[in-house]
């Protein structure tokens, strides 16, 4: 992986991590078209730089992270399903990351779901993060497990999960941001521990560059997303996913025909 390729993937990560369009899916697609999709460094890079992006949440919502032990305990409770599922399904997930057709199919299906989400949950009440119950947090965490399939979108799964348990769009989106912190911290740390013996000095520089760029880009993407979500809802993200999925399916079909 070159520095230019790392820069492109990091920008994609920063823009898409908190949008319901699948950051991993976009990076898998981009790396496949750049010819580096099967590279071991690329697979590590896709996971590790997500940590840089989620650090933007800590910066933007730092007051939330200085509130109480209950806030962290609730996040840990919501994180538990993904931690258990990730432990047992890690190898299977890694194989899915190399399959661009899995990403295309889940992008299309996710797009269809997003078109109707606002109608399904239009009567959600105004709820603040501190009012989320332990059981609601756990159910949102179960929804997050679906996002282990590349292309589903962790943000989409957790936001829809939040709305399904009664949260409004803004609170569901913000809780999704908060839940990303332990989730991606755990995934990135484990990935680095598993591969630290094989990482070269060049690889470290690539990972640091990608994490920093993803962090900076995500700072702006989060603010823009919340504003867009309040005004327009999810349907435009659904249309985007469907159009993208169709275009990618045609391109990949003819490339491999």
Q: Which residue has the higher pLDDT, 10 or 123?
A: 10
Would you place residue 215 in the very low, low, confident or very high pLDDT band (cuts 50, 70, 90)?
very high
pTM of the entire predicted model: 0.81
At 85-124, the pLDDT tens digits run 877 776 777 676 667 788 888 889 999 999 998 888 776 6
pLDDT in tens, 28-68: 788 888 888 777 777 778 878 888 888 898 898 888 888 77
Region 63-80: mean pLDDT is 85
pLDDT band at 127 (very low <50, low <70, confident <90, very high): low
Q: What is the residue extent of each domain of the chain?
A: 3-256
- Residue 97 near residue 46, CB atoms below 8 Å: yes
pLDDT at 108: 92
The pLDDT mean for the chain works out to: 84
């Amino acid at each position: 992986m070159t520095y230019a390729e790392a820069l492109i993937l990091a920008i994609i990560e920063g823009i898409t991590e908190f949008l319901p369009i699948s950051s991993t899916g976009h990076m898998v697609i981009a790396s496949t078209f750049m010819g580096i999709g099967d590279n071991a460094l690329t697979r590590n890079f896709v996971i590790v730089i997500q940590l840089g992006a989620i650090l933007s949440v800590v910066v933007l919502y730092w007051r939330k992270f200085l509130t109480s032990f209950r806030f962290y305990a609730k996040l840990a409770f919501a994180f538990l399903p993904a931690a258990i599922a990730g432990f047992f399904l890690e190898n299977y997930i890694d194989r899915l990351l190399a399959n661009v057709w899995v990403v295309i199919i889940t992008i299309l299906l996710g797009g269809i779901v997003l078109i109707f989400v606002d109608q399904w949950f239009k009567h959600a009440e105004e709820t603040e993060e501190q009012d989320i119950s332990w059981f609601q947090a756990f159910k949102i965490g179960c929804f997050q497990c679906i996002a282990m399939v590349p292309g589903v979108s962790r943000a989409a799964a957790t936001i829809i999960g939040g709305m399904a348990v009664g949260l409004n769009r803004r609170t569901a989106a913000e809780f999704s941001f908060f839940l990303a912190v332990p989730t991606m911290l755990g995934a990135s740390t484990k990935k680095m521990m598993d591969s630290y013996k094989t990482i070269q000095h060049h690889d470290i520089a690539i990972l640091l560059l990608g994490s920093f760029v993803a962090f900076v880009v995500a700072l702006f993407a989060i603010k823009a997303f919340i504003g867009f979500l309040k005004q327009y809802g999810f349907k435009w993200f659904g249309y985007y996913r469907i159009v993208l999925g169709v275009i990618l399916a045609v391109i990949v079909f003819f490339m491999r025909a």
